[in-house]
Amino acid sequence: MEIRAFEAARRLKYGALLLFAVFVAGTAGFHLIEGWTILDALFMTIITITTIGYGEVHPLTLSGKVFDIIVILLGVGSAAYVFASFTRFIVEGEMQRYFGRRRLDKTIMRMSGHYIICGHGRIGSLISQELLHSNKQFLVIDTDPSVIQELERTGIPQIQGNASDEDLLLKAGVKRAKGLIATASSDMTNVYIILVAKELNPDIFVLARAETEDSIKNIKRAGADKVVSPYLIGGRHMANILLKPTVVDFIELATGEKTGEFHIQMEGFKIREGSRLVGKTLKDAPIRKDIGLIVVAVRNHAGQMIFNPSADLSISVDDVLVCIGDAEALKSMKVLAIT
């Protein structure tokens, strides 16, 4: 659909340029052949191409009549082509799609700190729904025209094409993006996407999908920060249902997998300078008693991950507190981490 819109715009543009060239050539020809003023020559060209039929501005010489025939053939044909292209552009809705695409491109150019989803299959669509639910800024790259058409209907920013194309990733704002998610069905395609993305923006966080356990290493070598194998996770989850049914039931109930609503969520909060938590122990901080969150892990400023931290652990600037609780409590913690 997007290609059709730009193709229609291209035809209209070339037709208009051809018609303009005929006007310029006609004006110059009458001026040089007949010795008329530029205004008279332009007027003669206009009434000739538009077939208004006012008659000759001045009597034409034999050379002028031959030239006038050429102007008629070229001009009327060009005008008919432009009119037909413009009519098709409007009737088929190409104009609306074209200018809609232009507006979307401008929106994408203004994006910063966003996520780029490469591939909108089963995994990519689930990720986009979660990002949409979390009010995160993102766009989708996919080669399938039907997928692009569906994304247009839902209002999700999208670009049609191959995500391993350097120009397309630049158009998607890869240099300004916070993260890229490679969810193509082919591991080799994901490797190409990651290599190009990391070359354009070495600091971008890349999350990738892997089909097999063996390909996880190769995708990490390409530069992926995290690699997930849906089949591997799915298999382990099914095994846990058999081996640890009570634990799985609790997790599904807590995370809302059974009800469709997320009751408990987990999030990490980086402690900023100026936060009232700095210098306090987990026991004295208002995280548990006032907000109702549980701190399950702490990544300290040295990068060390501490699971099930002691209540006497002192909180420092740049520590990341991994908390679990409901959405409202997590919102309160986000404020507490910076003030």
Q: Last residue of some domain: 176, 211, 228? A: 228
Q: Which residues contact 330 (CB under 8 A, 6 or more apart)?
A: 265, 267, 293, 323
| Residue 250 domain flag | no
| Residue 296 domain flag | yes
- Give the burial class of 225: count Cβ atoms within 10 A of its Cβ; 0-12 exposed, 13-18 middle, 19 or more buried: middle
| Residue 245 domain flag | no
Q: What pLDDT sits at residue 157? A: 92
Confidence band for 4, pLDDT divided at 50, 70 and 90: low
Give the phi and the psi of residue 227 in degrees, each rounded to 5: -130, 135
Confidence band for 161, pLDDT divided at 50, 70 and 90: very high
Q: What pLDDT sits at residue 155? A: 85
Residue pLDDT, tens place only, 319-335: 999 998 888 899 999 99
Confidence band for 101, pLDDT divided at 50, 70 and 90: low
Q: Which residues contact 23 (CB under 8 A, 6 or more apart)?
A: 42, 45, 46, 49, 75
What rounded mean pLDDT belongs to the chain?
A: 85
d(CA 122, CA 154): 16
Its domain, for residue 90, covers 2-94
Residue pLDDT, tens place only, 287-301: 998 999 999 999 998
Do 85 and 17 share a structural domain?
yes
Q: pTM of the entire structure?
A: 0.60
Q: Report how many helices (DSSP H) and strands (DSSP E) the chain contains, helices first.
A: 13, 10
| Residue 117 domain flag | yes
Report the CATH number that the domain containing residue 188 is assigned in CATH: 3.40.50.720
In this structure, the number of other CB atoms found within 10 A of the CB of residue 12 comes to 20
Report the CATH number that the domain containing residue 35 is assigned in CATH: 1.10.287.70
d(CA 20, CA 4): 24
d(CA 115, CA 101): 19
| Residue 61 domain flag | yes
The total number of structural domains that make up the chain: 3
Q: Is the pLDDT of residue 314 over 80?
A: yes
d(CA 71, CA 47): 11
The residue whose two tokens read 């004295």 is: 284
- Give the burial class of 172: count Cβ atoms within 10 A of its Cβ; 0-12 exposed, 13-18 middle, 19 or more buried: buried
Do 215 and 172 share a structural domain?
yes
Do 121 and 19 share a structural domain?
no
User: Mean pLDDT throughout 96-117?
Assistant: 80
d(CA 212, CA 304): 30
Report the CATH number that the domain containing residue 300 is assigned in CATH: 3.30.70.1450
Q: Is the pLDDT of residue 94 over 60?
A: no
Q: What pLDDT sits at residue 1? A: 47
